[in-house]
Structure formats: structure tokens, C-alpha cells
């Protein structure tokens, strides 16, 4: 009996084991994505902000991708007009609040005697534009034609499937969350809206019913402030250069506002991407691709060598949409 067991053990040692397929990390999945899974971003859909050079005279550029229709188009129309008028040139970053936002615009905007005049023809948007309502029977085809919220619509009609696999832990702020058209969304019933994830860019405003003109802008530099969803207009996201805003000194005044002009970081210029010479080309990973599904699952359930236990889920803001420069 012992001889037989020894023989079996020797046979097991002599038989080559099947090599386990390596488990890829999220970044490795993205790096292996085929070219067909990437979507080009038009230069005209980029907003480029150059800040004054840093203490070592290095340039500081922030590149923002504008959100496509149907979201925030009134504010984006205003932002395009402000950029065309060179309105932000010579203004500054006026507020940096730790774990929250960095904000830029006219530091004298509250003083009508000193405030920079806004261009003519800026639109005024109602609060209802923070949310898009989709009638699944009547307007779904229109939404699909616009290339937006396909996953969110499918999830709203059927809460099982891809959404459940990517976000099994649920969400504290909405019935459903999904990526669609390259952006993070939340939805409840027939209403859906973009989400305040890290790097998302929104429109500063005063008290309701003011929804902001688009002259005062901010970006999220801390934990996702989801309580701002549906209360402030999101119109884009920083795709490059977020470190030039997130690393700025925190303001010592209330809400992180700087108390003296010397503390502020100056803005050299703000232009649409098609006005910037030699601007790199950018593209994002299609959220409707098989690669993104694998990437999202890997972000929600890390199985690569460093991790001991898969988390079993992820907040939508923990699955950022990959964006890259085109080689």
C-alpha cells in the first residue's frame, strides 16, 4: 500500500501541471485593448487651460473633455463662447478646498464694480437641465441615436445583467449606476444624470434658482461629492493635468478661498482644443466594449497577485474611464 502511494506521488511529480492562466490587473487589460475599442475625442470637444508656470518654470496645462449631447449643452454653449472671447485669460484659480474642489474664474466676480464683463449672448439654463428624463418607449431611439446612456437605459428597463455584474454592491445615491457613451451615470426610474467623480468638472453657481453661466468652474480633487449630483451642472472631466490643480496650496479662507491675490495661481489662457497648435490627440476606451467590461470587473474584483480577497463590487467612481494620448 505504501509502495503504491509512493508510486502515485512520483507520478504526480513527474506529470507537468497545467499552467494557470495569469490574472491581469486592470491596467494590463486596458493596455491590451485593441485599437477598435478606443474612441477618438474631437479637438473641438476639448477645453485647454494653461496656468502660469510653476516654481521651477515648468508649464502647467489642464485638458478637459466636454460632455457630449444631451447633457449640459446650455452650459457648454456658454463655455464655448467664453473661451472664444478669451474671457478667462489673465484670471486665476481662486479656491482650493482640501478633499473637495479646485475652482477658477473671476476673483472679483462678486463685486459688480470690479467684475469682468461677460460676453453677450450667454444662455440661462433651468434647474431641470441637471437631469435628463428618458421615456423608454418614446425617446429611447433618440437617445441611442445620440450615442448616450445605452447601458443606463437597458439597466432602467432590466436591473439584471451587465450593471449587476459591475456594481453588485449597489449605490447609496441612485437606483442604478452605469457607464455609457464613455461617461459615468446614475439613474432612478426614467431620470438619469452624470456623476461627481474625481476629475469631473462643473459650473459654480450662487443660490437657486441661479444655475451658473459657466464663467465659474470647478473640478473635483477629492472623494467623490455625490451629494452635488443633480444640484450643480457637470459638463466635462479633466483628462490630463489634474495634478496641476489637485496639488495647489489649500486656501486658508472659508471654503478654501484664497485670501490674498498673491496666493492665487494665474490663468494664462483658456481655448478650445482646435485652437491649440500641436495639441496631442486623445481617445477613451469605449464603455460598450468587451475590454471595458473586463476592465470594470477587474476593478471591482481585484484578483491579481497583490490582492488577497476580491472586494465583490465597486462604486462607479472607482471605475474611471481610461483615456490616453494617441501614440
SS3 for 245?
helix
**Residue 94: in which H helix or E strand, if any?**
strand 92-96
CA atoms of 75 and 22, how far apart (whole Å): 46
Cell of 78: 456658454
Nearest to 66 by CA among 42, 33, 31, 87: 42
Domain positions in the chain: 43-111+119-133+201-279, 135-189+286-327
Query: Which residue stretches of the chain have pLDDT < 70?
Result: 1-20, 135-170
CB half-sphere exposure, 70, CA atoms < 13 A: 20
Radius of gyration (C-alpha) of the chain in whole angstroms: 24
CA atoms of 77 and 52, how far apart (whole Å): 26
The H helix count followed by the E strand count for the chain is 8, 15
pLDDT of 273: 98
CA atoms of 300 and 315, how far apart (whole Å): 8
Average pLDDT, the chain: 87
pLDDT of 170: 65
Q: How many residues does the chain have?
A: 327
Dump pLDDT digits (tens) for 39-72. 999 999 999 999 999 999 999 999 999 999 989 9
Residues in Cβ contact with 181 at an 8 Å cutoff, skipping those fewer than 6 apart: 68, 147, 148, 149, 150, 287
CA atoms of 301 and 293, how far apart (whole Å): 12
CA atoms of 15 and 39, how far apart (whole Å): 47
SS3 for 290?
helix
> Which residue, chain included where needed, has cell 475652482?
103
298, 24 contact by CB (below 8 A): yes
**Residue 9: in which H helix or E strand, if any?**
helix 2-14
Spell out the alpha helix ranges (H) of 130-182.
140-145, 150-157, 162-166
Cell of 300: 471591482
Taking the CA atoms of 104, 107, 112 and 114 in sequence, report the sign of the dihedral they define. Answer: negative
CA atoms of 257 and 263, how far apart (whole Å): 10
pLDDT of 20: 62
Domain 43-111+119-133+201-279: give its CATH architecture.
Beta Barrel (2.40)
Amino acid at each position: 500500500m505504501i509502495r503504491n502511494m509512493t508510486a502515485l506521488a512520483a507520478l504526480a511529480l513527474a506529470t507537468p501541471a497545467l499552467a494557470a492562466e495569469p490574472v491581469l490587473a486592470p491596467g494590463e487589460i486596458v493596455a491590451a485593448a485593441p485599437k477598435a475599442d478606443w474612441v477618438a475625442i474631437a479637438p473641438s470637444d476639448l477645453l485647454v487651460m494653461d496656468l502660469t508656470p510653476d516654481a521651477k518654470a515648468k508649464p502647467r496645462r489642464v485638458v478637459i473633455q466636454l460632455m457630449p449631447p444631451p447633457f449640459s449643452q446650455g452650459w457648454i454653449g456658454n463655455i464655448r463662447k467664453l473661451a472664444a472671447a478669451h474671457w478667462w485669460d489673465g484670471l486665476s484659480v481662486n479656491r482650493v478646498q482640501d478633499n473637495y474642489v479646485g475652482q477658477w474664474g473671476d476673483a472679483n466676480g462678486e463685486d459688480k464694480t470690479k467684475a469682468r464683463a461677460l460676453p453677450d449672448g450667454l444662455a440661462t439654463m433651468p434647474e431641470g437641465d441637471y437631469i435628463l428624463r428618458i421615456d423608454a418607449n418614446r425617446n429611447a431611439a433618440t437617445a441611442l441615436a445620440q450615442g448616450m446612456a445605452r447601458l443606463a437605459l437597458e439597466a432602467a428597463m432590466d436591473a439584471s445583467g451587465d450593471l449587476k455584474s459591475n456594481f453588485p454592491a449597489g449605490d447609496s445615491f441612485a437606483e442604478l449606476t452605469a457607464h455609457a457613451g464613455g461617461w459615468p451615470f446614475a439613474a432612478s426610474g426614467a431620470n438619469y444624470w452624470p456623476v461627481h467623480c474625481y476629475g469631473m468638472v462643473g459650473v459654480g453657481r450662487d443660490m437657486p434658482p441661479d444655475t451658473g453661466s459657466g464663467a465659474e468652474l470647478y473640478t473635483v480633487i477629492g472623494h467623490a461629492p455625490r451629494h452635488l449630483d443633480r444640484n450643480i451642472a457637470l459638463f466635462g472631466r479633466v483628462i490630463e493635468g489634474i495634478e496641476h490643480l489637485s496639488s495647489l496650496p489649500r486656501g486658508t479662507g472659508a471654503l478654501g478661498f484664497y485670501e490674498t491675490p498673491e496666493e492665487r495661481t494665474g490663468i494664462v489662457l483658456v481655448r478650445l482644443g482646435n485652437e491649440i497648435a500641436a495639441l496631442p490627440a486623445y481617445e477613451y476606451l469605449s464603455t460598450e466594449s468587451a475590454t471595458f467590461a473586463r476592465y470594470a470587473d477587474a476593478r471591482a474584483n481585484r484578483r491579481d497577485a497583490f490582492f488577497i480577497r476580491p472586494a465583490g463590487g465597486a462604486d462607479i467612481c472607482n471605475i474611471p474611464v481610461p483615456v490616453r494620448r494617441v501614440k
